[in-house]
Amino acid sequence: MRRCVIVGGAKIGDYAAIRRELREDDFYIFCDGGLNHMPALGVPAHLIVGDFDSHPLPDLDIETVVLPREKDDTDTVYAAKEALKRGFEEFLLVGVTGGRIDHTLGNLSVLLMLDAQKKKAKIVDDYSEMEIVSETPAYVEDSFLFFSLLNISGEAAGIGIENAKYPLRDGVITCEYPYGISNEVLPGKKARISLNRGRLLLVKVRCE
């Protein structure tokens, strides 16, 4: 099954890091201002969506969905929903964090939406990779400087962290107390994160 890559309009500084994440058979949806990233990423658009308030409507022979500017779904949310309709099981989102905090938080909610649909999804930016941990354990390689666990959707309980500087057994993390920041994988190991109830945002930090 091909993966869907959704490209938003937030700033990308390290294009090389993003290009290393891309696959030859990815399906690319560019959202409005995300079109500014197309030359540097060096990949084609298979679908373009947006209300085109941050990029001119392109004159390209590519399927394009023009959205109204007054709407409930952001361009990124619309793109994710459209990809779900087309049957994609795996997602990568780039150019969706940084800049306006409201858009960044909204795009983190897209990860929750995709997780609720049992889809595999992550966000990659200049500094980190982000994914939701829920029913399936997640792993962090020791190539990452740090990793953090944040609760953005309620209470998470029965949390286990193994092979890390700060291990945890049967832990609870709430939205009000973010004590899962800046953990480290033990050298030569792979950290394992699991939980019995709820969901967590896992942030794997590559650089500061």
pLDDT at 154: 86
User: Tokens for 21?
Assistant: 């994440």
CA–CA gap between residue 12 and residue 24 (Å, rounded): 20
pLDDT tier at 9, thresholds 50, 70, 90: very high
Which domains can be identified in the chain, with CATH numbers? 4-126 (3.40.50.10240), 133-205 (2.60.120.320)
pLDDT at 109: 95
The pLDDT of residue 127 is above 90: yes
Q: What is the mean pLDDT of residues 4-11?
A: 96
The pLDDT of residue 14 is above 90: yes
pLDDT at 207: 82
DSSP string, the chain: -PPEEEE-SS--S-HHHHHTT--TT-EEEEEGGGGGGHHHHT---SEEEE--SSSPPP--SS-EEEPPSS-SS-HHHHHHHHHHHTT--EEEEES-SSS-HHHHHHHHHHHHHHHHTT-EEEEE-SSEEEEEESSS-EEEETTSSEEEEE--SS-EEEEEEESBSS-EEEEEE-TT-----SB-BPTT-EEEEE-SBS-EEEEEE---
CA–CA gap between residue 86 and residue 4 (Å, rounded): 10
The pLDDT of residue 37 is above 90: yes
- Least Cα distance to 63 among 30, 36, 92 occurs for 30
The pLDDT of residue 208 is above 80: no
pLDDT at 25: 95
Which of 29-38, 98-107, 131-140 is least confident? 98-107
> Model confidence over 45-98: pLDDT tens digits?
999 999 888 888 888 999 999 988 888 899 999 999 999 999 999 999 999 999
pLDDT at 28: 98
Whether this prediction's pTM lies above 0.75 is answered by yes
CA–CA gap between residue 76 and residue 8 (Å, rounded): 7
> Model confidence over 134-187: pLDDT tens digits?
989 999 999 999 999 999 988 899 999 999 999 999 999 999 999 999 999 999
Q: What is the mean pLDDT of residues 186-205?
A: 97
- Give the burial class of 82: count Cβ atoms within 10 A of its Cβ; 0-12 exposed, 13-18 middle, 19 or more buried: middle
